[in-house]
Every structure is written in structure tokens, then in C-alpha cells.
Structure 1
Amino acid sequence: MRRARNPVQTAVWWVKKQPPKVKTALAVLTGILVLIFLRFVIRDHDNLFVAAEFVHAVGIGCLIYKLMKEKTCAGLSLKSQELTAIFLMVRLYCSLVMEFDLHTLLDFLTFLTTAWVIYMMRFKLKSTTSDDLDNLPKYYVVVEPFTAHYVFALGIARFLSCAHWILQVLDGHSFLLNVLGYGLWPGMVLLSEIVQTTILADFCYYYVKSVMDGQMMVRLPSGVV
């Protein structure tokens, strides 16, 4: 007698069978529904930013655990971490100029931990780094668990941050909009958040797919990362 499938497994199996356009439409629809849910459930939308920083911190915690326990940088891209640090520095500067509040403290702590990861990769564990991750294209990429957890957490954090910005724009009377004005800047910030979220959403899909398949490693086709 065939064992009944778990509803979640059934849904995942159905999504796997769909063509890319349908998967994209489903992802967009899911994102919109989640945004609607967040708008009506969370009164203070700044909490989304705090949640995003918390999830990001959890992801960085996975990297720190990996570096401290395994003493290896295998699977990590130094350039990606350095680009992240540059992004965080710019955001920290903007936060200092515009807000100087809890957001600033969270940005500062996130930057410090990212800087520590870069220090470990560039100096303490330099012999274990792989230039291939930054220079050579691959037909497929296999991401080890701790790195996969970090990137997945980063994807969730970017979505929450993107939701924070979208809801701020929809509110129309937020502090951030008053600071940035109502010209080109809000649109540029929102567009950058959407682009980052879209890029990481692809990885999150393969992460969930690998977890549902019971795989510890996340296998990505060429072009995903």
C-alpha cells in the first residue's frame, strides 16, 4: 500500500514540475501575499528591519561557527564578503547621517561581525581560501551546509528589509521618505532592495529544495551564484 504523501512534500513536488515562468509567477504571488499579511499584522514596520538584522546576524553566526570550529574557509567567497562589508559601510554612514538610532547600532554590529569574517579569511585562515570561488565560472556549484545556511538567512533578511522599504513607501508618511524626499532616491533604494531580494530568492528556492530532498549540500546550476 502506497504511503500518503505529506501535504508540504506534495506541494513541493508540484512546484518542481512547473515550468520556470510558472515558478516565477508563484514566487511573485507568494511575495505579494506575504507583504499584505505583514502590512496588516505588524503595526510598526520598523520591526521588519530589526527582524532582518536579527536573521542576518543568525546567518553570520553560522559563518563564525564554521570558521571557529572547522578552521577552514572552504565554500566561502572573500570577494562576496568584502562587497557585503562595503554595502554595510555605506548603509552605516547613511544611518549615522539620517537616523542615529537602533538601526545604526544594528548596522554597526553587523558590519563588525562581517569585518571579523573577512579578517579570518584574509589572514588567519588564508591558506584554506579558494580563489576559484571568486574567479572561475562553473557548470554547477555545490554549497556546503554552513555556507548555505548563511546565504539562506541572508535571503530571508533581504526579503524582510525589502518588505520594510515597500511598506514604508506605501505608508507615504514615514521618516525615511521625509529624509530621502519624494524624488528619485526612494525609487532607487526600493529597486536595489528588490534586485537583491530577487537574486537571493533563486538560491533560497534551491536551498529549500535540497532540504526537502534530505540533502545536506545545496547544488546549484550554473548562473545561480
Structure 2
Amino acid sequence: MGSDDTLGKVRDPMVAAVQWLKTRPAKTKAALGGLGAVLLLLILWRTIKDHDTLFVLAEMAHFVGIGVLGYKLQKKKSVAGLSLQTQLLTATFLAVRLFCSFMMEYDIHTVLDALTLLATLGVVFCMLFTEMKATYQKEQDVIKFYYVLAPCALLALVAKPSTTHYYLFRVFWAFCVYLEAVSVFPQLRMMQKAKVVERFTAHYVFALGLSRFLSCAHWILQILEGNKYLIQALGSGLWPIMVLASEVVQTFILADFCYYYVKSYAEGSGIVRLPAGIV
């Protein structure tokens, strides 16, 4: 009869899988990551009947991410690793979207946006008006928010919804869609310069990545379901195409970071190290 010691000779399949993945070429890893995303989409397609639920989950993920930052500020009394520029951009697109929601529609998304905006303004306040501002790494936060705002505003004048709402409301709505797509870019650039990402900041950015994936999944699953209205809309003008493109851009901007985040925890280190070319 065998001894229980023989269990020590059994290789952990998870460890074996991680070791195997680490030895694969970069192209193979990218292909496997894409395959994993497709499989996850298929699971969502089969398990979630109301695809609008994905939008709610996306906004909840963003709110949870901000909550993680709030916890960090309370425990560490430090804003090291955080981009003030990204927080300002986030507050801007949330404020504009909240304004448009009150003027054009009002639902659960409005409530979630209001909560997330309040939390974001709290982070901005801590970074600008408390003793924590001394820990802000301004020299690494190099992409100023107005460099991002200006192109989004110009694009909103070109491609905007063709609804019956007032012209200004339609421009504002387009502006917040485009701004949301690139608002995290200063944060990613800051992390690239630092190379090693502070843990709570990493949790926050991963939550943003999860939020963007869920939001993008909503549109993709609508197409897979054969939503005739959406398919016709995509062929009816520039605005629907730009909305879908914005969702895809947001997802891909954060995809690399999410890969290194998952990789660091799969390896057991929990320390996210970024290569120079991630952004």
C-alpha cells in the first residue's frame, strides 16, 4: 500500500501550467490571451441574458477600483504611484456624462456615475489639498490632462449622436465617450516610467481594465446576438462606429497591463513589473 508521501511527487497542474506559459514566445502568449478573452466572451454570452447587466457590472468595477484607492489613502496616507492627470480626466468625463444623463436620460447608470464621481473627487482633493500631496510624484506624471482633453473635444464636434436632443448635449455626450477611452493613458505612462507598480494602484488599474472589458463585451455580444438595430446603426454613420471603436481602444489600452497584473499574481509575487514598451 502506497504512502501518503507519494502525494509530494504529484506536480501541481496550476504551477505546471504557469511554468509552461512562462517559456512560451511573446506571440504565443498574446494568442493564448486572445483565445482566453474569446472564451470568456462566449461564457458571458451563454450565462448573461440581459446584456445591459454588463454595463452595470462595468460601472461597479470602476467604483470598486476607486474604493481600493480610497482604502490606500486611508491606510498609507500616500498618493505615490497615482496620476493626478488621470484622476482629473476621470472626474471630467464622469461629470459631463452625469450632466448628460440628467438632461437626456436617468437610470441606474446615473446613480453609479454619481457615486464614482464623488469618490474620484475625494481622491483629487487628497492629492491637491491634504498633507498627502507631498507624496505625489509630479515629475513622473508627464502627460497633462489638457493634451488629452483637446483632441477629444475636436473629435466630438466631428462625430456625435444624431438624436433629437440639443446640439450641445450631443457634443458633450460624444466628448465623454472619447475622453473615457483615453483617460487612463497618463496613469499607464506614469507606471511605465516607474517600472514597478505600487500594489493598490495596480488593483485600481486592473479594476479599470475589467470595467472596460465588460463594457466592450456588451457591444460585441449584441452583434453576436444579431441585434438588427445595432448592426444597422453601425452602417448608418460615423458615430456608432466611433462608439464601438472607443470601447475597443479602451480595452486594448489596458490589455497589456492586465496581462502583467495576472502574470505577477500567477507567479506568486504580487508585484507588477512593466516592460518599457507597454504604453
Q: Using the alignment, how far apart are the partners of 2:231 and 2:237 within structure 1?
A: 10
In structure 2, relative to structure 1, the CA distance for the partners of 1:203 and 1:188 (3 Å cut) is: same
Q: Does 1:88 align with 2:94?
A: yes
- In structure 1, how many angstroms separate the alpha carbons of the residues matched to 2:105 and 2:31? 36
Tell me the residue number matched to 2:135: 128
Aligned residues: 224
What code does the residue aligned with 1:222 have?
A
1:188-224 CA distances to partner (integer Å, 9 max, x unpaired)?
1111111111121111111111112222321111132
Deviation at 1:51, TM superposition (A): 1.1
What pairs up with 1:47-58 in 2 under 5 angstroms?
Answer: 47-58=53-64
Residue range with higher mean Cα deviation, 182-191 or 1-10 = 1-10
For the Cα contact (< 8 Å) 1:45–1:167, is it kept in 2? yes
> Is the CA contact 1:60–1:114 (under 8 Å) kept in the aligned structure 2?
yes
Number of the residue aligned with 1:14: 20
| Distance in 2 between residues matched to 1:22 and 1:87, nearest whole Å | 36
Match of 2:156 in 1: none
- Separation (CA, whole Å) in 1 of partners of 2:129 and 2:90: 18
Gaps of 5+ in 2: 1-5, 143-188
Residue equivalent to 2:106? 100
Q: State how far apart, in whole Å, the 2-side matches of 1:19 and 1:97 are.
A: 51
Alpha-carbon deviation of 1:35?
A: 1.4
Partner of 1:112: 118
Residue type of the alignment partner of 1:130: Q
Match of 1:77 in 2: 83
Deviation at 1:61, TM superposition (A): 1.0
Secondary structure at 2:94's aligned position in 1?
helix
Q: What per-residue deviation string (whole Å, max 9, x for no partner) do you get for residues 117-150 of structure 1?
A: 1111111121110113312976661111111111
Larger Rg: 2
Asked if 1 retains the 8 angstrom alpha-carbon contact of 2:197 and 2:272, the reply is yes
Distance (Å, rounded) in 2 between the aligned partners of 1:159 and 1:71? 31
Residue 201 of structure 2 corresponds to which residue in structure 1? 147
* 1:67 aligned residue: 73
How many percent of aligned residue pairs carry the same amino acid?
57
Q: CA deviation at 1:98?
A: 4.2
TM-score by length of 1: 0.87
State the AA in 2 paired with 1:196.
Q
Q: In structure 2, what is the Cα distance between the partners aligned to 1:108 and 1:99?
A: 14
Match of 1:196 in 2: 250
